[in-house]
Chain A
Amino acid sequence: DVKVTQSSRYLVKRTGEKVFLECVQDMDHENMFWYRQDPGLGLRLIYFSYDVKMKEKGDIPEGYSVSREKKERFSLILESASTNQTSMYLCASRPFGSSNYGYTFGSGTRLTVV
């Protein structure tokens, strides 16, 4: 089974803190994604990466950055956390060139910014 692991299930951080969310996948997938999920809005794409050191902005990249130094690891960084970044963050991965395949998601990190 493909496994996508997110390092924390729940996080509470203070406004202005720098926050790192880590995601690791074990199936050698090229594509990795970060989404946030909010009630009524569904999942929205923050950033994605299709190779090591490659990254592209999604629909809502403001206030976030990412790092992909190794193929299996994709990190989401909140440069200066704000209360409107309180959300469920979901990491996903997918093999390259597989438009008919869905994603495999991690179990999510519920971040609260106070």
Chain B
Amino acid sequence: RKEVEQDPGPFNVPEGATVAFNCTYSNSASQSFFWYRQDCRKEPKLLMSVYSSGNEDGRFTAQLNRASQYISLLIRDSKLSDSATYLCVVNRGGNKLVFGAGTILRVKS
């Protein structure tokens, strides 16, 4: 079983839609959590950290459920420019981040 699992998608949504991605992790000792965005043939870039109380950054909302060991990302009012691969990332400790394989989002006009 992979340490971080994500639905690979692709999620094909129209502009303006709300879309949610989930991610599960297996190591209960994981300490911190992130969502990264990766555009085609580019490096991953930090989208947002995920805090226990949940956090929001504009159209993006991240949630963490430690009891169930899952993380979610909600994107509201999707834009064409949101099309990318979204990587769920977990800090397993010792400064080492573990990456999920990513969920592909395609926003269409």
Contact = CB atoms under 8 A, between A and B. Distances in A.
* Main DSSP-derived SS at the B contact region: strand
B46 A103 contact: yes
Given A31-B95, A102-B97, A42 B87 contact: yes
B42 A48 contact: no
A108 B42 CA distance: 7
Contacts, number: 52
Most buried by B among A33, A35, A104, A105: A105
B107 to A, nearest CB: 22
Contact of B99 (A43, A48, A99, A106): A43
Size category, B interface: 20 to 34
A48 B92 CA distance: 14
Contacts of A31: 95
Size category, A interface: 20 to 34
B84 interface: no
Contacts of B45: 105
B18 interface: no
Interface string B68-108: 00000000000000000001010100011111111000000
A85 to B, nearest CB: 19
Contact of A103 (B4, B8, B97, B100): B97
B32 interface: yes
